[in-house]
Structure 1
Amino acid sequence: MVNWPEALDPALLRPGRFDRQVTVPLPNQAERAAILRVHARGKTLAPDVDLDIVARATPGFSGADLANLVNEGAINAVRADRTLIEPDDLDAARDRVLLGRREASNALLPEERHAVAVHESGHALVAALCEHADPVAKVTVLPSGMTLGVTEQLPEAERHLYSEGYLTDLLAVRLGGRAAELVVFGEGSSGAANDLSGATHIATRMVRDFGLSPAVGPVGYATAHPSQLGETTEEGAPQPYSQQTQRIIDQEAARLLREAEERATGLLRDHRRALDRLSDLLVVRETVDGSAVLDVLREEQRERRPADGGTPGPASGGLPRVSSGIRVPDEEHRPDAAHAADREESAAAGGEPR
């Protein structure tokens, strides 16, 4: 078995030899739940552990990743001198599998903590204000691995197709952290490097592969090999388009990114009070779930309502519920706190690491 079929000698792939290629995809949500139950045998789970929720929060995990997650959850429980594996143990284990180990010595300076809180608050609020974005599950400013903070989004359902609206909102969310820095501090920082890299990759694929740019038109120039390992092209392989087309692709990708940044910046300026409150809350509590983000937006909405209790309008500084795209559900529809675990981006989806 090989992971890179394109690396095989073509003579080996002639009919009658090793000419059959079987692609083993990553498990879907139902399969992940079944795999988790297998690896949870012999381990004592707390009554409130729901492996279906854990499976929903682990898109893109392989069977080995899921086994590692359960084992790490058991280790967390043992370190806490508990005999039961609790949801928080699995949540922490998932973050470790995705982001790396959390080092207590990796402490941030006070001004750095505030900057990270502003950055992650930008991601979270833009996600809550965009109609097609995945709901926010958790926001943290605790450094883990190579990340200083993370905004995790939990898809409502496992997607196989991504609409233009979803991808456009995804770009805005990716650039929400940098936009928050521009709104609060008046300048960006190096903390947005990973966000910019991921957003550029998405924007380029929108133009080059998905035909979502009017300048390029309904033409796809996908250069990926048919392999589940990603989009790496063979070194030295010629591009299927000219340098002039490449220039147009670069210009269109840059346009999409500029528009996404302007949109995110506009949303955060309109909701500056919510941005300040959420960042202050993160500095104090370090980690909040998605319901806290919605609570901050609800509080801002209440403050914008006229004194007579009427429906706020644009003239009174109110927040139009539909035209603004804000998704603030009623109390009975708030996401359960137990769902506060993610995944990108992503891996179109995922967390948004700094």
Structure 2
Amino acid sequence: MNDDQPQGNPWIKSLLVWGGIFLALLLVVSMFGARSDASGTQIGYSDFRARVAEGAVRDVQIGADKITGTLKNDQTFTTTPVDGDKELLPKLLQDNNVPYTGKAQEEPNMLVWVLAQSLPFLLILGVAFFALRQVQKGGGSGAMGFGKSKAKLLTERSGRVTFDDVAGIDEAREELQEIVEFLRDPSRFSKLGGQIPKGALLVGSPGTGKTLLARAIAGEAGVPFFTISGSDFVEMFVGVGASRVRDMFEQAKKNAPCIVFIDEIDAVGRHRGHGLGNSNDEREQTLNQLLVEMDGFEANEGIIIIAATNRPDVLDPALLRPGRFDRQVVVPVPDIEGREKILGVHMKKVPLAPDVNPRVIARGTPGFSGADLANLVNEAALLAARRNKRLVAMREFEDAKDKVMMGAERRSMVMTEDEKKMTAYHEAGHAIVSVFEPASDPIHKATIIPRGRALGMVMRLPERDSYSYHRDKMHANLSVSMGGRVAEEIIFGHDKVSSGASGDIQYATGLARSMVTKWGMSEKLGPLQYEDQQEGYLGMGGSARLMASEETNKLIDSEIRALVDQGYSRAVEILRANEDKLHILAQALLEYETLTGDEIKTLMDGGQLDRPDTFAGPARPIAAPGATVPRAGRRFLGGGNSGGLQPQGA
């Protein structure tokens, strides 16, 4: 239903319903009340004759089947005469000087009688009418409206979004600009025999702005915009989803030209035939009906279907063919230029200090989606409000970025001195290896302040956005991941090595396995793929299955071990050669807790930190701590195209 059509006032409808109920109750009360008032006190016939004989009766009215009257104490009464005594009653009344009159039989009120007789039928008809009204309600909101579409119609009054509100995805926006132009002027394309695509599938990772982009298309074109989720079609009753699809297209035809946006279409558009038994009958019937409505015998002119998903690999091929979804528009994670534009959009709502530089923030947030950047700006505003500031400064953005990427600080966590020393040398080991590995990304920050589930971390950021790994960088990441474990062994001895390197080992093992089984970077196994990627979110892993013989699996394990051992040996070589720098950096971390990448570089070059009470000079080696083992949970933040691989600690 179009929002512009007049809608009935629900208050008036409720008032009419309650008014009808009140009138019905008033009618019933009046009927029984009238009878009760006319009847008076019921007494026995023998009691009546005795009171007449006593002279207690003032007057009497004799009816056909009822005697009424008034006592001398003004009390009214009624009694029922005995058959055969009606002829003797006048003589009794005359002998006792009681005036009496005859009473004609009461004629019932025809209107009251009709209402009384028809009241049950009226109630039944009312209930039936209410049920039918519920069935006819749109949107499936009625008590029996299972087959009605739950699509919501958004108009300009609901909050107009345009392409000015969408930033960082210029290529995707240009792909969809043609749809906007068709909705504005269809004749421009039809003159040359061209037809606008019937559907466009937006594919991208979560948070990249697929839904926002669809709303911007509707806002730019100025047409009605129906929105529904794929899960809204499917219910436990077979056939309900198909009915909702039909009803949705019926509503769209009445508002054409319009856009129908189906979010998370993979909920209903999964590949058919993968289910067991009849468990997927309802979903498959819904998908079949959707396929027919999009490209069947009936033409749906002026209806453009836009769907969004982050799992295109599970969609049915019939749904993706030309004629249904003619275009697949990839909505990628924004690059540095896109991140800067997105930050500019969200920063318009926040009072900024003069020192805020969106370009610097964009460089330090590789791999962030539009939703991540919106969350970053919001966290910075919350931090500024918590600090009672009137403007959001660059410090708040940096702190918010650290919180989003590394977790919230846990300064209340009590650590012993031995644990702090162990953590400082562990993170210093990561940092030293990273500095002396040419292919490693620059260090952004090192800290021994517990954040999230980690006791400390070294964060690296690439100098520019990267979209692929190189072999030398992978080997450098393996060496850096082993740097913390090697530093513990060098400083505290083999027996004092902690479980803090569990996240580093997990990261190194996963990277080496991918190099061998997916990227063909093993000399012995060659450029072959041995790992079959199962279903998973776009760009977010998923389960995997090895496709190799037992002998090949043994060779895969040995190659993974060789790669990790190579990184371990490289870390040992670097840290043995720079043990003095390891002590300097660990002492600085113990004193200042957090060091920036520039400060680490200054210390490595033999300089001093420009801070109050500047730490300077080499430090003597620290004796091995006691038997206290620090908690597991440190994690290594390596560089990459996602802005930092963050394997969790044990």
Q: 1:74-127 CA deviation, whole Å, 9 max, x = no partner?
A: 111122222222222111111211232223322322211111111111111111
Q: What is the CA-CA distance between 1:17 and the residue it aligns to?
A: 5.0
Partner of 2:527: 218
Confirm or deny: 8 A CA contact 1:136 1:153 kept in the other structure. yes
Is 1:151 aligned with 2:458?
yes
Secondary structure at 2:459 match in 1: strand
2:539 maps to a residue whose letter is L
Partner of 1:233: 543
Is 1:67 aligned with 2:374?
yes
Q: What are the residue-to-residue correspondences of 1:142-181 with 2, within 5 Å?
A: 142-181=449-488
Confirm or deny: 8 A CA contact 1:120 1:140 kept in the other structure. yes
Confirm or deny: 8 A CA contact 1:72 1:93 kept in the other structure. yes
| Count of residues paired in the alignment | 309
Confirm or deny: 8 A CA contact 2:520 2:526 kept in the other structure. yes
CA change 1:233–1:290 in 2 (3 A) is same
Q: What is the CA-CA distance between 1:139 and the residue it aligns to?
A: 0.6
1:272 alignment partner, one of 576, 579, 593: 579
- Return the index of the structure with the highest Cα Rg: 2
Confirm or deny: 8 A CA contact 1:223 1:231 kept in the other structure. no
Secondary structure at 2:444 match in 1: strand
1:350 maps to a residue whose letter is G
2:508 alignment partner, one of 172, 180, 199: 199
**C-alpha distance in 1 between matches for 2:316 and 2:467:** 33
Is 1:40 aligned with 2:40?
no
Partner of 2:94: none
Confirm or deny: 8 A CA contact 2:411 2:449 kept in the other structure. no
Counting strand residues as a fraction of each chain, which structure ranks higher?
A: 2
**C-alpha distance in 2 between matches for 1:182 and 1:229:** 36
Superposed CA RMSD: 2.4
2:387 maps to a residue whose letter is A
Is 1:78 aligned with 2:388?
no
What is the TM-score when the length of structure 1 is the normalising length?
Answer: 0.80
**C-alpha distance in 2 between matches for 1:87 and 1:197:** 35
Confirm or deny: 8 A CA contact 1:99 1:146 kept in the other structure. no
1:216 maps to a residue whose letter is L
CA change 1:9–1:293 in 2 (3 A) is same
**C-alpha distance in 1 between matches for 2:474 and 2:339:** 25
Q: What is the CA-CA distance between 1:296 and the residue it aligns to?
A: 2.2
CA change 1:38–1:222 in 2 (3 A) is farther
Is 1:254 aligned with 2:561?
yes
CA change 1:349–1:243 in 2 (3 A) is farther
**Aligned-pair identity (%):** 38
Secondary structure at 2:371 match in 1: helix
1:350 alignment partner, one of 638, 644, 647: 644
Secondary structure at 1:299 match in 2: coil
**C-alpha distance in 2 between matches for 1:347 and 1:117:** 28
Flag the structure with more relative contact order, 1 or 2, with Cα contacts below 8 A and sequence separation at least 6. 1
Unaligned runs of 5+ in 2: 1-263, 265-308, 608-636
Partner of 2:602: 295
Secondary structure at 1:47 match in 2: coil
**C-alpha distance in 2 between matches for 1:246 and 1:96:** 41
What is the TM-score when the length of structure 2 is the normalising length?
Answer: 0.45
Is 1:50 aligned with 2:357?
yes
CA change 1:19–1:242 in 2 (3 A) is farther
**C-alpha distance in 1 between matches for 2:414 and 2:400:** 20
